[in-house]
Amino acid sequence: MKKSLLYYRILNYQPANLELLKKQFNVILLNNPDYDTEKILADVDVILAPLGYFFGREKIDIAKNLKIIASNTTSEPHIDVKYAEKNGINVISLKRYPDFLKTITPTAEHTMGLILAVMRRIPWAFDSVLDGVWNRRLFGAKGMLSQMSLGIVGLGRLGSLVAKYAVAFGMDVYY
């Protein structure tokens, strides 16, 4: 018999990923944790916990079958980890897989994309083209990234990636 998994639509997983979950679990779909009921929580084995909703003592005490609280986040402020683990519930989050996190680069890539968009005035140039006007002089950059410096507050996982990308553009990086 399949274990039950509580999935909240606000997590907005890709359809293919949701289908994978449905193959492995009896998936219970709710819009968000405001729709939890004691009956649902009492029977669930796994909860996928979204940020913005606290999963603590109250829910854990009701969820007698709960084995796992999982979150696709890099921190766990929305889960009472100590209480969960004290009650034999495994907490799974990206925070616990630092080697895997090193392979996740979209946030740092997006940061560099935003820097390029602002420096090269891409959104404004795009709008101008849509309006049927194009004057490249209006949208030239104030300088070349390779001649600029970038200050980074915090050189953790993401800051280090942004620094690496900025260096690849020839920028001086300060942190």
Q: What is the pLDDT of residues 98-136, one digit of tens each?
A: 899 989 999 999 999 999 999 999 999 999 999 998 888
The mean per-residue pLDDT over the stretch 56-82 comes to 96
* CA–CA gap between residue 109 and residue 165 (Å, rounded): 8
pTM reported for the whole predicted model: 0.76
* CA–CA gap between residue 145 and residue 116 (Å, rounded): 8
Write out the residue limits of the CATH 3.40.50.720 domain(s) in the chain: 3-96, 106-174
Residue with tokens 């990923």: 17
Given its phi and psi angles, is residue 154 left (phi above 0), alpha (psi -120 to 50 degrees) or beta? left
Please state which CATH number belongs to domain 106-174.
3.40.50.720
Residue 91: the pLDDT is: 98
The mean per-residue pLDDT over the stretch 150-166 comes to 96
Q: Where are the alpha helices (DSSP H) in 8-121?
A: 15-24, 38-43, 57-62, 81-86, 98-101, 106-119
Residue 80: the pLDDT is: 98
The mean per-residue pLDDT over the stretch 34-62 comes to 97
Residue 139: the pLDDT is: 84
Residue 140 has pLDDT above 90, yes or no: no
Q: Which amino acid is at 131?
A: D
* CA–CA gap between residue 130 and residue 102 (Å, rounded): 39
CB-based burial label for 36 (10 Å; 0-12, 13-18, 19+): buried
* CA–CA gap between residue 69 and residue 87 (Å, rounded): 12
CATH of 3-96, one of 3.40.50.720, 3.30.300.130, 3.40.50.1820, 3.50.50.60: 3.40.50.720
Residue 146: the pLDDT is: 96
The mean per-residue pLDDT over the stretch 3-16 comes to 97
Residue 148 has pLDDT above 90, yes or no: yes
* Structure confidence at residue 143 as a pLDDT band (50, 70, 90): confident
